[in-house]
């Protein structure tokens, strides 16, 4: 059907080995022969079959990007960073979008076999200890983004610290009744970043001798709508919080929706602080804890490229900073 290396060899009157050498820029080809072969390639509009090459070479030039469905802007930002880091190379990213924990396990399992992809980047998703072992044993380079691991390289931020920063920011503004709206702490995909932020929140309350109230902590499914519902519930308490910290910006926006619907002023009646620093946060003038999202993807991809290039892969743990970005949704406590 398609033209093969044999056709080229015949047309150029050389052996297949020689054609292969030309294609792969081997120096062991005379100038004259090279010209002949190149001409034949052009005449036939030949391109090598990548699958044959992959089989023979045992190299795919594919990188699996394993990530949750693109429901959150933070995933997308990270993906952008990956994409741009890869764009200078011959590696192409294949998207493995996971919708359920079963799917995550299926992907991690099959990708841990040799000859599937050359390496993996996982966003906000950790392999189990067993899965990690298989990657290690099979020498498949992996870099985790927004996750920590003691054997797989990763880039991460200190979410406990982030939770602390958010809570302290609110306390500094005079708030004492501070609620936390969160993703499920035992998020089905990995030990959640939300859990660490929660820990920072609890810790900080305690450090400032503020009471922790059961009712001020609610967790639920990700997403703007769910956060809105949770916020309405919180804000209609008999003794509602004067400030709300959410585990991501998307949820914070949901809280803003709720406040608007109830008729509460932000930050007059209630302060809101998010987490992540996605670009949307700027549009709604949201105070937030920012982390380098694009940067995390970019750095992770480069780490993977290094692993791919090096003969002796080395473990690396790369920490990125978090910081408060103060904008218009947090203000002094009036009550």
State the Cα–Cα distance between residues 295 and 250, nearest whole angstrom: 19
Q: How far is the CB of 79 from a copy of itself (least distance, A)?
A: 7
- Cβ-proximal residues to 121 (8 Å cutoff; 6+ apart), any chain: 63, 64, 65, 66, 82, 93, 142, 143, 145, 297, 300, 301, 304
Q: How far is the CB of 29 from DNA (least distance, A)?
A: 4
Q: How far is the CB of 94 from a copy of itself (least distance, A)?
A: 5
Nearer to DNA, 8 or 255 (CB): 8
Q: How far is the CB of 137 from DNA (least distance, A)?
A: 16
Q: Are the C-beta atoms of residues 40 and 11 closer than 8 Å to each other?
A: yes
- Cβ-proximal residues to 108 (8 Å cutoff; 6+ apart), any chain: 66, 127, 128, 131
State the Cα–Cα distance between residues 246 and 249, nearest whole angstrom: 7
Binding partner of residue 15 among DNA, a copy of itself, none, CB cut-off 5 to 8 Å per kind: DNA
Q: How far is the CB of 116 from a copy of itself (least distance, A)?
A: 6
Nearer to DNA, 13 or 317 (CB): 13
DSSP letters along 46-70, please? ----HHHHHHHHT---EEEEEEE-T
Measured in degrees and rounded to the nearest 5, phi and psi for residue 61 equal 60, 30
Q: How far is the CB of 28 from DNA (least distance, A)?
A: 4
Q: How far is the CB of 65 from a copy of itself (least distance, A)?
A: 8
Residue 79, SS3?
helix
- Token pair 């910006």: residue: 249
Nearer to DNA, 54 or 232 (CB): 54
Strand stretches in the chain, DSSP E = 62-68, 92-98, 119-123, 142-145, 153-157, 178-183, 217-220, 243-246, 271-276, 287-290, 317-320, 323-325
State the Cα–Cα distance between residues 286 and 224, nearest whole angstrom: 14
State the Cα–Cα distance between residues 178 and 240, nearest whole angstrom: 9
Nearer to DNA, 9 or 157 (CB): 9
Q: How far is the CB of 184 from DNA (least distance, A)?
A: 39
Nearer to DNA, 32 or 88 (CB): 32
Binding partner of residue 97 among DNA, a copy of itself, none, CB cut-off 5 to 8 Å per kind: a copy of itself
Binding residues vs a copy of itself (CB under 8 A): 1-2, 47, 49-52, 54-55, 60, 62, 69-70, 76, 79-80, 83-84, 87, 92-97, 99, 110, 113-116, 138, 253, 279-280, 283-284
Binding residues vs DNA (CB under 7 A): 1-2, 4-6, 13-21, 23-24, 27-30, 32-34, 46, 48-49, 52-53, 55-58, 115
Residue 268, SS3?
coil
State the Cα–Cα distance between residues 200 and 182, nearest whole angstrom: 13
At residue 320's C-alpha, the angle toward residues 317 and 321, to 5°, is 145
Binding partner of residue 249 among a copy of itself, DNA, none, CB cut-off 5 to 8 Å per kind: none
Binding partner of residue 324 among DNA, a copy of itself, none, CB cut-off 5 to 8 Å per kind: none
Binding partner of residue 28 among DNA, a copy of itself, none, CB cut-off 5 to 8 Å per kind: DNA
Binding partner of residue 29 among DNA, a copy of itself, none, CB cut-off 5 to 8 Å per kind: DNA
Nearer to DNA, 48 or 223 (CB): 48
- Token pair 């991809």: residue: 301
Nearer to a copy of itself, 70 or 237 (CB): 70
Binding partner of residue 99 among a copy of itself, DNA, none, CB cut-off 5 to 8 Å per kind: a copy of itself
């Amino acid at each position: 059907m398609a033209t093969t290396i044999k056709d080229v060899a015949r047309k150029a009157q050389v052996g297949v080995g020689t054609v292969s050498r030309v294609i792969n820029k081997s120096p062991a080809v005379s100038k004259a022969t090279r010209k002949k072969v190149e001409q034949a390639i052009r005449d036939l509009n030949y391109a090598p079959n990548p699958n044959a090459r992959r089989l023979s070479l045992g190299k795919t030039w594919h990188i699996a990007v394993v990530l949750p469905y693109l429901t959150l802007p933070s995933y997308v930002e990270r993906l952008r960073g990956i994409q741009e880091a890869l764009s200078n190379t011959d590696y192409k990213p294949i998207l493995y979008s996971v919708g359920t924990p079963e799917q995550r396990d299926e992907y991690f399992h099959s990708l841990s076999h040799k000859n599937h992809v050359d390496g993996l980047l996982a966003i906000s998703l950790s392999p189990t200890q067993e899965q990690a072992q298989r990657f290690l044993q099979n020498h498949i380079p992996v870099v985790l983004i927004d996750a920590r691991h003691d054997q797989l390289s990763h880039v991460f931020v200190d979410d406990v610290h982030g939770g602390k920063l958010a809570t302290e920011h609110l306390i500094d503004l005079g708030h004492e009744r501070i609620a936390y709206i969160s993703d499920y702490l035992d998020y089905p995909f990995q030990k959640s970043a939300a859990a660490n932020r929660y820990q920072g929140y609890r810790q900080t309350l305690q450090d400032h001798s503020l009471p922790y109230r059961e009712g001020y902590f609610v967790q639920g499914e990700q997403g703007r709508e769910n956060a809105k519902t949770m916020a309405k519930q919180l804000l209609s308490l008999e003794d509602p919080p004067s400030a709300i910290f959410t585990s991501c910006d998307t949820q914070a926006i949901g809280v803003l929706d709720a406040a608007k619907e109830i008729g509460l002023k932000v930050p007059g009646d209630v302060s809101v602080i998010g987490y992540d620093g996605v670009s949307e946060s700027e549009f709604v003038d949201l105070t937030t804890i920012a982390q380098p999202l694009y940067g995390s993807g970019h750095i992770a991809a480069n780490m993977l490229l290094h692993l791919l290039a090096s003969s002796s892969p080395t473990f690396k743990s790369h920490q990125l900073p978090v910081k408060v970005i103060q904008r218009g949704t947090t203000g002094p406590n009036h009550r």
